[in-house]
Amino acid sequence: MKIKLWTIIRLVTLLVSVVTLVLVLKKPAPVAPPQTPASIAANAQSFGQKMEEFSQAAQPASLPSGGGYQTAASASQPKAEVHLNSQEVGAALAQATGAELSPDSNVGSGAPTIKDQQVSFEGDVIHGQFLAEVAGKDVWVTVSGHLGSKDGYATFEPTEFMVGNLSFPVSLVNPALQKKLAEQHDRLKLPEYVGDVRVQNGELVMQQK
């Protein structure tokens, strides 16, 4: 009886291991539809134009006020904002990574090689999907969460984490993720004129400081 029981346990363990491996290596449903080269070019151009207009509107400018000057931010005007959809952000990301990353590039010491990435917005949640090479295998990593800002730096609080089609508890992943973000702290610094960044109503919103 013991022999049969242990045989069953080993078979179940092997089956679970195989299923887990298949789920990890299986490509999940994409978080965003693919864009054609033409749409990438158009959306990236729209992204750049919006950011340029926002930068000009949000930069401090001297305005006459009696005997002195005040900045545009302190005038009785609403703060400048820029609203970007996921297609614009995804296109800009595709162009930036296409220029900066190749299949053999590495994003940091000890980090896996990133081969592809996608982004989408849903309500107040950002979804990111990355194709990474881990131990010689291509693995899709999907992470969702809330984007924010604190003390002039972008922050990210995950709500979901998947490798392939396999979900992992956020509480298990978040400590390592926050440690990695802390190591990349300088790269998360927002421009001086940006006071807030968030995802709202399916768009990325940046607001003047």
Three-class DSSP category at 129: strand
Q: What is the reported pLDDT for 67?
A: 41
Considering the domain boundaries, does residue 113 fall inside one?
yes
Q: Is residue 8 part of a domain?
A: no
Per-residue model confidence (pLDDT) at position 58: 86
Query: Which of the 8 DSSP states describes residue 207?
Result: E
Residues of the chain under the 50 pLDDT cut: 62-72, 99-109
**What number of other Cβ atoms are within 10 A of residue 21's Cβ?**
13
Domain enclosing residue 108, as ranges: 79-209
Helices 37-58 and 86-100, axial angle in degrees (round to 10): 100
Judge whether 144 lies within some domain.
Answer: yes
Any domain includes 86 = yes
| Predicted local distance difference test score (pLDDT) of residue 25 | 74
- Report which DSSP code applies to 32: S
- Four-residue CA torsion sign, 163, 29, 39, 124: negative
Q: Is residue 87 situated within a structural domain?
A: yes
pLDDT digits (tens, 9 = 90+) for 132-175: 877 778 888 899 999 999 999 999 999 999 988 889 899 988 99
Q: What is the domain count for the chain?
A: 1
Note the pTM of the prediction, 2 decimals. 0.76
For the chain, what's the residue count? 209
CB atoms within 10 A of CB 86: 23
DSSP bridge pairs for 125: 122
Per-residue pLDDT at 133: 79
Please state, in angstroms and rounded to a whole number, the distance separating the CA atoms of residues 209 and 207. Answer: 6
